[in-house]
């Protein structure tokens, strides 16, 4: 939610001159995306988003992200389309950072998602999974089960300063998830971070998906578990089963879940809760001085984790039998 890299007017004009976009008319740093610097760019051809990729994004992953957006847009998914320069390259360098220009997408994130939004997100997620078929590149999910223990180790010593007992409870959840993590579920391209910030609506209609910078190759049902966590809990920490039902039903309208995916949903949801709790915890314990971004509360996801502990089947999320 910040602009980390400042770009001078001369650098920007020189960069944009490599594209068929006409002259730069305006550029405004925007509060969008947590990881990168984003500018709203106005050129003689229209409005675009200019992204400068910051240190947390691995440069070697950028061709995957750029290629994926091209693949998904070509298959009709409404997502930002990378603009190519005159030599056919979508990825360039600006102000010392890798940079890309993508199309501007109308729509706004909803702050308080309703049941209708959850249904639409489920449907869009399934469309994303189908549109991802045939994408040739692969990127392992660095933040799946194998990635959690290193995060836990980084946070363990100080975890109890956030809430007493957090270190022990995390260790227990981690151990049980490592033992029970499902293998062999249908794999494909997943978004892996489809939070309300990353889904645009125009009125009740879902108008687009953005921010593919955690996308990777993993179990499709895990993506649904991420969305259940991100969309279907109320601010008081309770799970809203009506929203869960709408989301799962929306998903299955487009891509019915296989029995193994249905059975795995509780452990996937618990794993997804642990994943966001751990990354938030590490960020929380390591806020740099002068940070521009307020860290997100890890305890929100700790409470979700505890909820999933009591779940026995996908029916508890509202999936119709």
Which residues would be at the binding site for its own copies (CB under 8 A)? 1-3, 6, 8-10, 12, 23-32, 40, 42, 47, 104-112, 200-203, 290, 292, 294
Contact between 132 and 73 (Cβ < 8 Å): no
* Chain CA centroid to CA 64, Å: 15
CB of 47 to its own copies, least distance (A): 7
Nearest residue (CB) to its own copies, 104 versus 238 = 104
CB of 107 to its own copies, least distance (A): 6
Nearest residue (CB) to its own copies, 40 versus 285 = 40
CB of 103 to its own copies, least distance (A): 12
CB of 313 to its own copies, least distance (A): 34
CA dist., res. 220 & res. 280, Å (int): 23
Nearest residue (CB) to its own copies, 6 versus 133 = 6
Nearest residue (CB) to its own copies, 24 versus 166 = 24
Alpha-helix runs per DSSP H in 28-92: 62-74
DSSP code, position 260: H
Helical packing angle, 115-131 and 220-231, nearest 10°:
160
Nearest residue (CB) to its own copies, 39 versus 135 = 39
CA dist., res. 223 & res. 231, Å (int): 12
Nearest residue (CB) to its own copies, 183 versus 294 = 294
Q: Which of 182, 217, 199, 184 is nearest to 116 (CA)?
A: 199
How far apart, in Å, are the Cα atoms of 116 and each of 203, 204, 244? Answer: 11, 7, 11
CA dist., res. 211 & res. 214, Å (int): 8
CB of 10 to its own copies, least distance (A): 7
Only one residue has tokens 């109890």, namely 160
CB of 274 to its own copies, least distance (A): 28
């Amino acid at each position: 939610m910040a602009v980390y890299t400042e770009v001078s007017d001369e650098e920007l004009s020189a960069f944009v001159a490599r594209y068929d976009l006409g002259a730069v008319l305006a550029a405004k740093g925007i509060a969008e995306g947590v990881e990168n610097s984003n500018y709203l760019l106005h050129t003689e051809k229209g409005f675009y988003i200019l992204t400068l990729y910051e240190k947390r994004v691995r440069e070697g992953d950028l061709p995957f992200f750029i290629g994926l957006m091209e693949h998904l847009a070509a298959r009709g998914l409404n997502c930002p389309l990378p603009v190519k320069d005159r030599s056919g390259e979508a990825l360039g360098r600006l102000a010392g950072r890798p940079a890309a220009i993508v199309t501007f997408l109308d729509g706004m994130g909803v702050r308080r998602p309703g049941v209708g939004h959850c249904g639409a997100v489920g449907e869009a997620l399934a469309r994303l999974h189908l549109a991802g078929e045939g994408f040739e590149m692969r990127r392992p999910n660095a933040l799946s089960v194998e990635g959690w223990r290193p995060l836990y180790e980084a946070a363990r010593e100080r975890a109890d300063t956030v809430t007493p007992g957090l270190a022990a409870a995390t260790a227990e959840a981690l151990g049980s998830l490592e033992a029970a993590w499902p293998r062999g579920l249908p794999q494909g391209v997943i978004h892996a971070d489809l939070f309300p910030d990353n889904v645009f609506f125009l009125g009740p209609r879902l108008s687009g998906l953005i921010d593919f910078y955690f996308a990777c190759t993993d179990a499709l049902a895990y993506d649904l578990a991420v969305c259940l966590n991100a969309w279907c809990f109320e601010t008081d920490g309770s799970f809203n089963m009506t929203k869960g039902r709408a989301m799962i039903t929306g998903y299955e309208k487009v891509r019915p879940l296989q029995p193994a995916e249905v059975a795995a949903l509780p452990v996937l949801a618990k794993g997804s809760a642990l994943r966001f709790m751990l990354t938030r915890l590490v960020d929380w314990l390591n806020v740099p001085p002068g940070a521009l971004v307020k860290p997100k509360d890890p305890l929100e996801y700790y409470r979700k984790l505890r909820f999933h502990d009591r779940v026995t089947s996908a029916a508890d999320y509202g999936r119709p039998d």
